């Protein structure tokens, strides 16, 4: 049975106490450690006998059985590190790398601490406070991605939170792992395939990965790649080139499946699209200095706003949710639409295309300003970087000189919003290696066996209009696609968001 050893609990409380003493009295770790140990946890080098022993006893903590019988035990989970930096820290490598592991699901722990016979009861209260705050910061690995964070049973919030946002996700859902299914022969691709049976789950790692992706894309447009790699690690955590825990924590509360995805057979053709909901929570980790927190809040809040309005989350993130129910075979729905569920005026969108352009630019300028303070250097978005060579079959996913972000509206076609209908139109289809007419891999992405080329085009459908991000837009076929978007719209239904 999984449990938390008493030594781990003691170490968490002690480390939290040392950090707080360091901040309060401006002490080094060594001096704060000695002061805390002498008074509360025991200091073996002390000549005073009363300082050599700890004042509080910690007991091993075990998960409680759940009345439903569903929680409190081990569950199979999965991490998938899709993007990684090369050794030189100059280029990004795309390679899905699923990594299954065990995790605890909805466990409730009973944690016991008690004072020693001679200890002052007030000491127990203080140590419990340190332990509580330390457990909220998380234990184990992946603490900044929703794992290992414990809160008191009667509390659902953390004092370190700076953003709490209810959301809904429609279309292709976020998945945890895939159960094995039988191999089947795909006549269209002429190959054996094992699709797997995906378990839908509202996962904080999916949101953290997407925030990380968009941070990297925007930062690469204004900062050198090595500096972007360093700042990305400081914000979200890293192993290479230097290990860092990260200054922001991403969690999901109340995550649930509202509507399961349509069944992948003929009986599921009339099923509605899948839907998930939850509450996205961003919080400071213990690594976030107090004097940086205002800038971190602005940086992450504006980044989250842009993430919600540039695409979705999960497997279908680059396309908005759209129906394929008029097709001959599944999947009956594709894409992912991420919707903020809040009345906060910060999230209110205008109906006019040009007003949205102005709003997005204000959000992006606030992001750049906060990024400049975080990087300790001025950032001028009119002086954009050029990241890598751009050709017909080559681009970098960076919001740089070669990127275009557009907001537009127009007529739907085949149950697809205007921008997606243009992208999937016959004008941009090509003949593939088997001689069949298919989507252009340099526009829509493609899969060649184990090699995957992500699409350079992101489309978010905001009902009144679509937001389209095109990487490498200065070369065909992406350049022709941007021109086609403009040609099919009127003067008041098209505006360039980026570059300014």
* DSSP class of 15: H
Do residues 242 and 164 share a domain? yes
**Is 125 buried (19+), middle (13-18) or exposed (0-12) by CB count in 10 A?**
exposed
Whole-number pLDDT of residue 380: 93
Q: Is the pLDDT of residue 421 over 90?
A: yes
Backbone dihedral angles phi then psi of residue 323, each to the nearest 5 degrees: -85, 145
Write down the residue that tokens 């998945």 correspond to.
175
**Is 272 buried (19+), middle (13-18) or exposed (0-12) by CB count in 10 A?**
middle
CB 186 within 8 A of CB 192: yes
* Domain ranges, residue 429: 384-500
Do residues 229 and 300 share a domain? yes
Do residues 317 and 456 share a domain? no
Nearest CA among 253, 76, 243, 56 for reference residue 157:
253
Residue 486 falls inside a structural domain: yes
Separation in Å, CA 108 to CA 165, 471, 472: 24, 45, 49
Q: How far apart are CA 444 and CA 458, in angstroms?
A: 9
Over residues 14-67, the pLDDT tens digits come to: 999 998 999 889 999 999 999 999 989 988 888 888 888 889 999 999 888 766
Tokens of 199: 């378990």
Do residues 251 and 127 share a domain? no
Residue 321 falls inside a structural domain: yes
Over residues 327-372, the pLDDT tens digits come to: 888 899 999 999 999 999 999 999 999 999 999 999 999 999 999 9
Whole-number pLDDT of residue 475: 97
Residue 10 falls inside a structural domain: no
Q: How far apart are CA 117 and CA 71, in angstroms?
A: 37
Tokens of 180: 């094995």
Nearest CA among 400, 382, 381, 380 for reference residue 390:
400
Whole-number pLDDT of residue 326: 87
Whole-number pLDDT of residue 470: 98
Residue 107 falls inside a structural domain: no
Nearest CA among 71, 76, 7 for reference residue 42:
7
Mark residue 106 as left, alpha or beta (left: phi above 0; alpha: psi -120 to 50; beta: remaining): left
From 53-62, 82-91, 368-377, the region with the lowest mean pLDDT: 82-91
Do residues 92 and 120 share a domain? no
Do residues 89 and 118 share a domain? no
From 146-155, 334-343, 485-494, the region with the lowest mean pLDDT: 146-155
The percentage of the chain sitting over the pLDDT mark of 90, rounded to a whole number, equals: 59
Nearest CA among 183, 203, 185, 206 for reference residue 195:
183
Whole-number pLDDT of residue 449: 64
Residues 6+ apart with CB under 8 A from 165: 279, 280, 281, 304, 340, 341, 342, 347
Whole-number pLDDT of residue 190: 75
CB 253 within 8 A of CB 303: no
Which among 149-153, 158-162, 170-174, 446-450 has the top mean pLDDT?
Answer: 170-174
Average pLDDT of the residues of the chain: 88
Q: Is the pLDDT of residue 474 over 80?
A: yes
Residue 4 falls inside a structural domain: no
Mean pLDDT on 481-500: 94
Mark residue 199 as left, alpha or beta (left: phi above 0; alpha: psi -120 to 50; beta: remaining): beta
Residue 6 falls inside a structural domain: no
Whole-number pLDDT of residue 110: 87
Do residues 426 and 478 share a domain? yes
Q: Confidence band (pLDDT; 50, 70, 90) for 155?
A: low
Do residues 30 and 86 share a domain? no
CB 168 within 8 A of CB 339: yes
Residue 94 falls inside a structural domain: yes
Do residues 357 and 230 share a domain? yes
Do residues 390 and 253 share a domain? no
From 62-66, 325-329, 376-380, 446-450, the region with the lowest mean pLDDT: 446-450
Q: Confidence band (pLDDT; 50, 70, 90) for 314?
A: confident
Q: At what angle do helices 293-308 and 353-375 cross, to 10 degrees?
A: 150
Mean pLDDT on 220-245: 89
Do residues 189 and 247 share a domain? yes
Residue 375 falls inside a structural domain: no
Whole-number pLDDT of residue 199: 75
Whole-number pLDDT of residue 32: 92
Q: Domain total for the chain?
A: 3
Q: How far apart are CA 442 and CA 451, in angstroms?
A: 14
Nearest CA among 210, 214, 209, 211 for reference residue 403:
214
Do residues 158 and 182 share a domain? yes
Tokens of 35: 């002061």
Whole-number pLDDT of residue 133: 86
């Amino acid at each position: 049975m999984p449990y938390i050893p008493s030594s781990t609990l003691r170490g968490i409380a002690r480390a939290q106490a040392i950090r707080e003493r360091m901040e309060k009295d401006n002490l080094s770790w060594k001096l704060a450690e000695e002061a805390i140990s002498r008074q509360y946890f025991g200091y073996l080098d002390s000549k005073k006998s009363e300082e050599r022993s700890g004042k509080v006893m910690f007991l091993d903590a075990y998960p409680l059985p759940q009345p439903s019988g569903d929680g409190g035990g081990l569950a199979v989970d999965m991490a998938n590190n899709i993007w990684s930096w090369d050794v030189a820290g100059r280029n990004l490598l795309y390679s899905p790398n699923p990594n299954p592991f065990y995790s605890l699901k909805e466990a409730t722990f009973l944690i016991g601490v008690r004072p020693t016979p001679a200890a002052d009861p007030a000491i127990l209260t203080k140590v419990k406070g340190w332990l509580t705050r330390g457990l909220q910061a998380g234990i184990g690995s992946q603490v900044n991605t929703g794992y290992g964070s414990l809160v008191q049973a009667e509390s659902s919030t953390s004092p370190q939170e700076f953003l709490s946002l209810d959301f809904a996700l429609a279309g292709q859902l976020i998945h945890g792992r895939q159960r094995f299914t039988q191999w089947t022969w795909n006549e269209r691709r002429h190959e054996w395939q094992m699709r797997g049976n995906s378990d839908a789950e509202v996962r904080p790692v999916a949101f953290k990965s997407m925030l990380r992706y968009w941070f990297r894309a925007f930062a690469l447009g204004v900062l050198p790649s090595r500096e972007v790699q360093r700042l990305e690690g400081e914000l979200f955590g890293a192993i290479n080139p230097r290990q860092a825990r990260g200054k922001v924590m991403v969690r999901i509360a109340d995550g649930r499946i509202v509507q399961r995805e349509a069944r992948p057979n003929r009986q599921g053709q009339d099923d509605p699209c899948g839907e998930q909901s939850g509450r996205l929570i961003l919080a400071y980790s213990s690594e976030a200095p107090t004097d940086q927190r205002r800038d971190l809040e602005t940086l992450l809040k504006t980044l989250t706003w842009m993430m919600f309005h540039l695409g979705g989350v999960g497997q279908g993130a680059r396309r908005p949710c759209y129906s394929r129910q008029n097709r001959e075979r599944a999947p009956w729905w594709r894409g992912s639409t991420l919707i903020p569920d809040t009345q906060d005026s910060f999230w209110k969108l205008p109906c006019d295309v040009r007003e949205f352009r102005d709003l997005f630019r204000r959000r992006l300028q606030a992001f750049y300003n906060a990024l400049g303070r975080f990087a300790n250097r001025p950032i001028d978005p009119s002086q954009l970087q050029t990241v890598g060579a751009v050709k017909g079959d080559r681009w970098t996913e960076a919001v740089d000189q070669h990127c275009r972000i557009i907001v537009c509206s127009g007529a739907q076609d085949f149950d697809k919003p205007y921008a997606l209908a243009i992208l999937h139109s016959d004008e941009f289809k090509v003949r593939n290696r088997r001689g069949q007419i298919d989507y252009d891999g340099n526009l829509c992405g493609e899969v060649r066996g184990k090699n995957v080329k992500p699409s350079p085009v992101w489309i978010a459908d905001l009902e009144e209009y679509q937001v389209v991000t095109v990487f490498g837009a200065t070369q065909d076929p992406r350049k022709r696609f941007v021109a086609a978007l403009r040609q099919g719209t009127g003067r008041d239904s098209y505006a360039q968001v980026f570059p300014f």
